[in-house]
């Protein structure tokens, strides 16, 4: 599966102050991850990713305040309200074993012991701060798996063994 170079990382929900700052809803693991990025990208209607250099950024609660180079007054920021911003995957620091959600979506979900295919990973949700994998079941419908070591045994995002290897308990697919 081809990996996306540019990943959605947040959306401008409003402006902040009068000096051209945008308030971004963070779609990264943490607001600090988004605030560390020095370049964000916006997507054109033609599908091109245009770089925007970050002049300043700060975390404010669960949001990120961003001022881009060339933005000096409120009127510079207003046209970007509602804009989805992207990060280059190579600009995001990851720890060992960290995987982007975009790389998980569409992977087969397989039994860790037998290799039986349960379905395809359709979504990752975080209703209470803990990830839950939503699986489109091969039998129809969906089921959910908490993304914890007790159930998720291995994630392989490249090669012949690509998939999310899980160990389910009785009733989990019901």
* CA-to-CA separations, 33 to 25, 62, 128, in angstroms, rounded: 12, 11, 19
Is 90 exceeded by the pLDDT of residue 3? no
pLDDT digits (tens, 9 = 90+) for 19-36: 999 999 999 888 999 999
CA dihedral sign of residues 100, 166, 124, 47: positive
For residue 1, the model assigns a pLDDT of 59
pLDDT digits (tens, 9 = 90+) for 66-77: 999 999 999 999
Instruction: Write down the pTM of the prediction.
Output: 0.82
| Tokens 């960290």, located at residue | 98
Average pLDDT over residues 55-82: 96
Domains of the chain: 6-91 (2.40.30.60), 101-166 (2.30.30.240)
Is 80 exceeded by the pLDDT of residue 38? yes
Tokens of 16: 């902040």
Give 115: exposed, middle or buried? Use CB within 10 Å, 0-12, 13-18, 19+: exposed
Name which of 91, 90, 67 is nearest 80 in CA terms: 67
Q: Are 41 and 86 in contact (CB under 8 A)?
A: yes
For residue 140, the model assigns a pLDDT of 94
From edge to edge, which strands make up the β-sheet containing 117-125? 142-146, 132-137, 117-125, 108-111, 163-166, 152-156
pLDDT digits (tens, 9 = 90+) for 125-167: 988 778 999 999 999 999 999 999 999 999 999 889 999 999 9
Average pLDDT over residues 78-89: 97
């Amino acid at each position: 599966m081809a990996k996306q170079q540019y990943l959605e990382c947040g959306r401008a929900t409003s402006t902040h102050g009068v000096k051209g700052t945008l308030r971004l809803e963070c779609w990264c693991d943490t607001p600090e991850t988004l605030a560390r990025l020095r370049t964000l990208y916006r997507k054109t209607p033609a599908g091109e990713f245009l770089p925007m250099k970050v002049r300043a950024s700060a975390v404010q609660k669960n949001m990120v305040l961003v001022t881009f180079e060339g933005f000096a007054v409120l009127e510079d920021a207003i046209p970007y309200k509602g804009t989805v911003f992207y990060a280059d995957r190579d600009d995001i620091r990851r720890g060992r074993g960290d995987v982007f959600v975009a790389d998980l979506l569409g992977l087969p979900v397989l039994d860790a012991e037998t290799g039986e295919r349960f379905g395809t990973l359709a979504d990752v949700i975080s209703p209470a701060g803990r990830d839950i994998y939503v699986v489109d079941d091969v039998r129809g419908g969906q089921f959910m798996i908490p993304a914890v070591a007790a159930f998720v045994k291995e994630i392989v995002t490249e090669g012949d063994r690509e998939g999310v290897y899980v160990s389910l308990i009785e009733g989990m697919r019901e």
